[in-house]
Amino acid sequence: MRYTTTLLPLSLAALAAADPIHIPLTRRSVRRDGIERFAAAADHVRAKYGYPTVSSNLRRRAKTAGIDIINQDADSSYIGTVTIGTPSQSFPVVLDTGSSDLWLATTSCTSCPDQTPEFNPSSSSTLVQNNTSGQNSEIEIQYGSGAVKGTLASDTVSMAGFTVDSQTLLLVSDVTSGLLGGNVSGILGLAFEALASTQATPFWEALVNDKQMSSPEISFWLTRFIDDADATPEEPGGVFTLGGTNSTLYTGSIEFQSLVDSSSPTFWMLDVSSVTVQGKSVSIPTGSSAQAAIDTGTTLIGGPSEAVKNVYAAIPGSQALSGQYNGFYAFPCSTTVNVSMAFGGSSWPISPEDMNLGPMQEGSNYCVGGIFDLDLGSDVSSGNGNPSWVVGDTFLKNVYSVFRASPAAVGFAQLSEAAGGSSGTPSGSVGSATLTGTNVPTSSTSSTSSTPSASGTSTTTASSTSSHSSASRVANTGAVSLGIILSIAASTLSGWFVLA
């Protein structure tokens, strides 16, 4: 023991007197892949210490995307695809500027048609059920002739590269018969949050709020197959653009009209300022009775009784229909019906093909008109935030339409030759431009600039560069005016419906 204790201090002394230990460092060879590695290293440090990374900001850079859509059942509805959940599941949905809710049929839906593509909530690891007071309460969304019922949830929703990580949607377990048809899973509402029965921010508005889109606009080119006897149940439907416009699809300027309720919008609502039939102006109501919802989810055009009566009074030989056709009018099939509509600016012509829905029955000399009486067959009253007109695809197929969030407005432009062209030149034409190339339109996009005028009208010229108010509660109680599904159950019109 003594021997050990005698040597220990000597050993410590020897260590203290020893030279420092030098450890050689080896430098990694320099990679010849540019300076990108420094940017990656900096992002690593940002992520480590909780700062936003450049790479994530780049992924979220504002953009514009064009989406090819589907024309279902000869212009009955226009379908786009959304992906839901993790892993993602893809579903066809009606693109509807006349409503604001996103809902999908789910695997628990016992009343959905057999062919309905259904969302399986249990397959998504990112889905969160939205419980109320500890209970998963059911919510019902009323449509004029039907309803959907389900529970609220949040999940990742994507479309054309745009993503909302926690988008509220209704998981539908019960659907009124006839509400869904064909290869459709639900509706993507594209109107404003104040209209939403779920009180959720619509997908497109969430993108605007998150500054994901280059411009706070969505736009449409809708194809026409109503006059094609050989059309299949699903045909190319045109292009839906998120975040701007597609300059190959229109010519001249986009004429914008400010929304009626631009300070607190619900619907995309404009005033109908004039209707022309066979070259002559017809009398239409003014004030709140002139307010029209511009609605891609509606097949036809619905209007107030007196206005619709005056439209057909200007068509020789027309007559009001009754029974299951109550609210509709017919005219001699040999008559070419020319109708134009204005919303405070130019008067936009509607193709005679869109005004003629076809013979009442096989061999009939009378054809059903594309404008119907909205007051009949519906328990929705005008005023209190509800529109008196619903201007659907019968009109919208004839223009390039743009829905702008800020300043809130709807714009129309003439279709380019590449998009099939418009049915005629609008009176008070908003200009013209040279179209370079007439190939099939691509999803290239353009930036736009607008100049407002004193009348509330503004125009946007095509660029060569790609680029819960009381009113809303009334609108959503019992019947949402733009949630009408009107079934036209005649033999020759079987399968036609109005989804408003």
Q: Would you name the residues annotated as active-site residues?
A: 96, 295
Q: Is the Cα torsion angle 104, 107, 108, 110 positive or negative in sign?
A: positive
Six-digit token string for 368:
């059903």
- Say how far apart CA 393 and CA 415 lie, in whole Å: 14
| Residue 184 · residue 77 · CB < 8 Å | yes
Alpha helices, DSSP H, located in 18-53: 36-48
- Say how far apart CA 420 and CA 225 lie, in whole Å: 12
- Say how far apart CA 136 and CA 184 lie, in whole Å: 26
Torsion of CA 267, 441, 251, 82, to 10 degrees: 10
Six-digit token string for 308:
């619709």
Six-digit token string for 168:
């509220």
Phi then psi dihedrals of residue 273, to 5 deg: -95, -25
Could you tell me which of 455, 408, 405 has the C-alpha nearest to residue 430?
Answer: 455
| Residue 259 · residue 269 · CB < 8 Å | yes
Could you tell me which of 147, 70, 80 has the C-alpha nearest to residue 111?
Answer: 147
- Say how far apart CA 273 and CA 263 lie, in whole Å: 21
Phi then psi dihedrals of residue 50, to 5 deg: 80, 15
Six-digit token string for 431:
């200009």
Strand partners, 383: 386
Alpha helices, DSSP H, located in 279-384: 305-313, 352-355
What SS3 state is found at 256?
strand
Q: Work out whether strand 389-391 and strand 291-294 pair parallel, antiparallel, or are unpaired.
A: parallel
- Say how far apart CA 109 and CA 117 lie, in whole Å: 11
- Say how far apart CA 488 and CA 5 lie, in whole Å: 108
Phi then psi dihedrals of residue 361, to 5 deg: -155, 165
Which residues contact residue 296 at a Cβ distance below 8 angstroms, ignoring those fewer than 6 apart? 78, 95, 96, 97, 98, 190, 220, 222, 392, 393, 396, 401
Six-digit token string for 250:
């229109």
| Residue 343 · residue 257 · CB < 8 Å | yes
